[in-house]
Structure 1
């Protein structure tokens, strides 16, 4: 059986909780992994079709609003287990602000710092959201570990942003 890509594998992982429509899977992905792994609506539907062709999920009859539920097959469980047992690849940071900062010498400093301020607001909100989730309790230690990373990451990004004016100096 061909390897699973991370998007397909995540859908199989979500379906371990029970059957779900593509719409529900998009919402689950946004809530559970959306801050560190992006899945677009079109990717989800495309991957579900491929997973169904491969026999890893089964599509049920369309329900209200033409939403079609999908459920995991035994082959899907096995494929997910195989994927999960493989070592994950190295992370690659794709942070648009860093790309802009890399070419910051060609940008007005005030405009650049405005971009940083806009991003700061996003990271402050994420940090507050993560801390709120943590305060309300987490369902398991794996979610707790993922949430702890998110908190440390946001704290680190905000600390780096605090240092930027000194790093960049005056022009």
Structure 2
């Protein structure tokens, strides 16, 4: 068992290592592809967690390969720690949506700047929804039975992006057009 409780970032890395050995770089790329839309990882986090997990005996470092990349594989202790983490109830989600901070303090911005931020972020969410819907449309019949976990995650992404776009569309027109007056007490 690890000296410190397994955090979600470390657990995600262990989860990916169930598929086979990967370097830190491979893990980062894999994470960005699989969970990047809802869970962010930095290169420094990946390498810090791998070092801590290696010290705790949860992963084993292999021989360095080309470009000095070192593969890691999950150990039996890592599988046990991952299984224990997965059985625990997930922590409550925390919304970290930087745009919401900007909107909350929007009266301190020039109205056209706030409208620009809103338009940019709306376009990003619309593009993400389009991407998710394309992936969902390409799923073969029976995908729910073959890969129910990935499909459930994809469906959450679709529902989330639709909800965010609905929020954008219900914002007061004055915010979206940049027609409101800035706060003068700033």
Same fold (TM over 0.5): yes
Question: Residues 72-116 of structure 1: CA distance to partner in whole angstroms, max 9, x if unpaired?
Answer: 100000000000100011111111110000111112222111100
SS at match of 1:38: coil
What is the number of residues matched between the two proteins?
A: 171
Deviates more, 1:32-41 or 1:136-145: 136-145
Question: Residues 4-36 of structure 1: CA distance to partner in whole angstroms, max 9, x if unpaired?
Answer: 011111000000011101000000000011111
Residue 168 of structure 1 deviates from its aligned partner by 4.8
The answer on whether the counterparts of 2:103 and 2:114 sit within 8 Å (CA) in structure 1 is yes
Residue 135 of structure 1 deviates from its aligned partner by 2.0
TM-score, structure 1 normalization: 0.95
Instruction: Say which structure, 1 or 2, has more relative contact order (CA 8 Å, 6+ apart).
Output: 2
Partner of 1:122: 124
Deviates more, 1:9-18 or 1:104-113: 104-113
Q: Identify if the C-alpha distance between structure 1 residues 92 and 167 changes in structure 2 by more than 3 Å, giving closer, same or farther.
A: farther
How do 1:14-93 and structure 2 match up within 5 A?
A: 14-93=16-95
The answer on whether the counterparts of 2:114 and 2:175 sit within 8 Å (CA) in structure 1 is no
- The separation in 1 between residues aligned to 2:43 and 2:132, in whole angstroms, is 24
Kindly indicate whether residue 144 of structure 2 is the aligned counterpart of residue 142 of structure 1: no
From 127, 131, 134, the equivalent of 1:132 is 134
- The separation in 1 between residues aligned to 2:68 and 2:134, in whole angstroms, is 35
Kindly indicate whether residue 166 of structure 2 is the aligned counterpart of residue 159 of structure 1: yes
TM-score, structure 2 normalization: 0.87
Where structure 1 has 5 or more consecutive residues not aligned to the other structure, the ranges are: none
RMSD: 1.5
Residue 125 of structure 1 deviates from its aligned partner by 1.3
- The separation in 1 between residues aligned to 2:174 and 2:90, in whole angstroms, is 34
**Greater Cα radius of gyration, structure 1 or 2:** 2
The answer on whether the counterparts of 2:32 and 2:41 sit within 8 Å (CA) in structure 1 is yes
Partner of 1:96: 98
